[in-house]
Structure 1
């Protein structure tokens, strides 16, 4: 969605509210990075979370909601299109249960929607190759939004804003909010309950995401004021004051494409759980990572972006934009470092938040001492050999027991994902293309046990 452009030069307050599960020296360093970037680029407010496997979570905040009210880490921010990842997870869980297939057509579940071909598949919706016109691009959408910011819209109300298709299904790629609007309607039809009820029942409650809500069906916590520019080249303004803005109408219109509101910590927790197989199973996660190429470096899977290189690493994530708010996040495919950054200013675009803030936090986290090995085991006691390896590689956990072994190529693609039952396993490499890979051992109790580069030769 196109945002109103604004700029800001207001003096910002700094808040250090790090939950220092990560070593205190590192927590101070991350807060310093957040403060420095916020001041340098005149960002109104920021809430951030950084997770290091085996060490824990850091959270920090910078700036203000409005004069005299600082941003705090327990504030809730609209996360925008990151909601799509949650919606995709539900669709994949439905496939796991045998309720539907991603290769089902829309017509199997929804009928007689103008400008929506019944032959489009669910998979094409989730990876944005459907060609469907994005309902948020219709001028009537904004007329409806601006008519009453407090109105609660139903998902079905949005169907009137779907225009003629942009291209034939499967022939191109174009981001469209309509894809996830329709996915939400399929979910609603299957369960005969509102989208927010399903998300809470299938994801939020089982995972303990207590600081995530679906707005406006759920309203709790403090959402900071959103800031924007009302006129071209105008001043930065508090939307809640200058425009009497309320998040209700827009977020109800965004529904399954963008209605979730959460703390930065809960957003980071979601990504950690997703990438560790806690929300969907390993087969579904692999399917989510089947990317359609967007350009030379980036791809889109099922509610998931792949971005490379970021500080030399392949990362996954899904940003989001709402009026007055932005969300950017990433999971490092190499080491599991996870970062979420939320801001209450929409004049800076998502790429700037990612490049200025997320990338800076990631770079500094990479520069910290090696990720700790929890418990009594030492990394040197854990062996992955021989290296270089040919037809097989042996994995010996030493005094540790039970782990997941992954072999990851240099694009971040998971080539092997297997378990070590006990403390030893031999993994076949006979079908693996020669080259340089990352070998990683981890378990749910202790996080990452060991990572090493592995050369495969035949």
Structure 2
């Protein structure tokens, strides 16, 4: 998936469609429309604050028909899944069923080993804040060819991949660094975190997310699809250009998300994500001690204004405001959700193309 590309003619021909109510979010609306002008097929965003909810869209949800995006669109949230996974593990810690200082080896004996990998030296905390040193299976060259090239994706888009298989890919590589000595974003950490949840509870991580978060908050548009390949309705099509930003546009809406596993397989909509992050930062999902742990951050290599906690990013905007949330990218989908420290002002945005545009200006528009 590339960086920037020319906007395809079908999207250029479609007028921006806005479902915005009221005029207090002008900068956010302009950022959404600018993303479409820069090449994104379509954008949907919802903000919520003490004045209520506000939504806007721009561009198209279907390049073939010109159907506009909807404020109710459900989409693949990718790595935003990580905040849900970390929340469940911190709930389990609050219940004294696990400690953040437990080793991976204690819960998953023999899983992290070989090529210098040692689960005895890696704690649950280091999984959640990406200081484990475990290699990211997504960076494996064979995995890249299989899922992130046109030919590979078209052949393997419906394959089912097990969590242990994903971890085994990472174990073919030496650690990126000794545990606790540096930071590197690794999806393998959260595949392991999902496996730990299952070992502690005796239930799949998806079932725990559904019971502890989705059901509790009544997130009706949020799901953990497992191996289901379709997006629930309502939804837009999702598009990719793979490695050539100047190449053809491919419809990648249907895929088996098991290759993302507990690192990024979930589906949601913008309103549900606002509700989730507002509840989380507002103290409705975790006791104060666990929420403090989640918000204890380390330096990252993402950007100088971003620090990483336990499945939670602390982003300092240009106006000095700090927001808490996560980004997420998967085939045909780029998303970001964030909320203020008290959880009283939130925004979530999704692009249905993965080759152009950035979500950061939407946050700048909403919070600054």
- TM-score normalised per structure 1: 0.71
Alignment of 1:360-379 (within 5 A): 360-363=365-368
- State the Cα distance separating 1:198 from its structure 2 match: 1.6
- State the Cα distance separating 1:74 from its structure 2 match: 1.4
Question: For the aligned residues, what is the CA RMSD?
Answer: 2.2
Structure 1 residue corresponding to 2:162, chosen from 154, 168, 174: 154
Residue 130 of structure 1 aligns to a residue in which SS?
coil
Residue number in structure 2 paired with 1:299: 307
In 1, are the aligned partners of 2:332 and 2:354 still within 8 Å (CA)? Answer: yes
Q: Confirm or deny that 1:44 pairs with 2:41.
A: yes
Change (3 A) 1:347 1:100: same
Residue number in structure 2 paired with 1:260: 266
- State the Cα distance separating 1:254 from its structure 2 match: 0.8
- State the Cα distance separating 1:323 from its structure 2 match: 1.2
Higher percent of residues as strand: 1
Structure 1 stretches (4+) deviating beyond 6 angstroms? none
Higher percent of residues as helix: 2
Q: Confirm or deny that 1:272 pairs with 2:274.
A: no
Partner Cα distance (1:65, 1:247) in 2: 17
Residue number in structure 1 paired with 2:53: 57
Residue number in structure 2 paired with 1:171: 181
Change (3 A) 1:126 1:231: closer
Alignment of 1:48-127 (within 5 A): 48-52=45-49, 54-66=50-62, 67=64, 68-113=66-111, 114-115=113-114, 116-119=117-120, 120-127=122-129
Q: Which has the greater radius of gyration?
A: 1
Structure 1: gaps spanning 5 or more residues: 364-458
Q: What per-residue deviation string (whole Å, max 9, x for no partner) do you get for residues 129-157 of structure 1?
A: 11101111112323444342112222122
Q: What per-residue deviation string (whole Å, max 9, x for no partner) do you get for residues 249-277 of structure 1?
A: xx211111101111111111111111111
- State the Cα distance separating 1:217 from its structure 2 match: 4.7
Partner Cα distance (1:87, 1:35) in 2: 29
Q: Confirm or deny that 1:310 pairs with 2:318.
A: yes
Structure 2: gaps spanning 5 or more residues: none
Alignment of 1:98-247 (within 5 A): 98-113=96-111, 114-115=113-114, 116-119=117-120, 120-145=122-147, 146=152, 147-162=155-170, 163-217=173-227, 220-230=232-242, 232-240=244-252, 246-247=254-255
- State the Cα distance separating 1:160 from its structure 2 match: 2.2
Which structure has more RCO (C-alpha within 8 Å, separation ≥ 6)? 2
Alignment of 1:23-34 (within 5 A): 24-26=22-24, 29=26, 32-34=29-31
Change (3 A) 1:34 1:174: closer
In 1, are the aligned partners of 2:6 and 2:246 still within 8 Å (CA)? Answer: no
- State the Cα distance separating 1:16 from its structure 2 match: 2.5
Partner Cα distance (1:357, 1:235) in 2: 27
Residue 223 of structure 2 aligns to a residue in which SS?
strand
Partner Cα distance (2:213, 2:32) in 1: 33
Partner Cα distance (1:142, 1:297) in 2: 29
- TM-score normalised per structure 2: 0.87
Partner Cα distance (1:334, 1:311) in 2: 18
Residue number in structure 2 paired with 1:369: none
Decide which moves more: 130-139 or 114-123: 114-123
In 2, are the aligned partners of 1:298 and 1:307 still within 8 Å (CA)? Answer: yes
In 1, are the aligned partners of 2:28 and 2:366 still within 8 Å (CA)? Answer: no
Residue 56 of structure 2 aligns to a residue in which SS?
strand
Partner Cα distance (1:211, 1:8) in 2: 32
Q: Confirm or deny that 1:319 pairs with 2:327.
A: yes
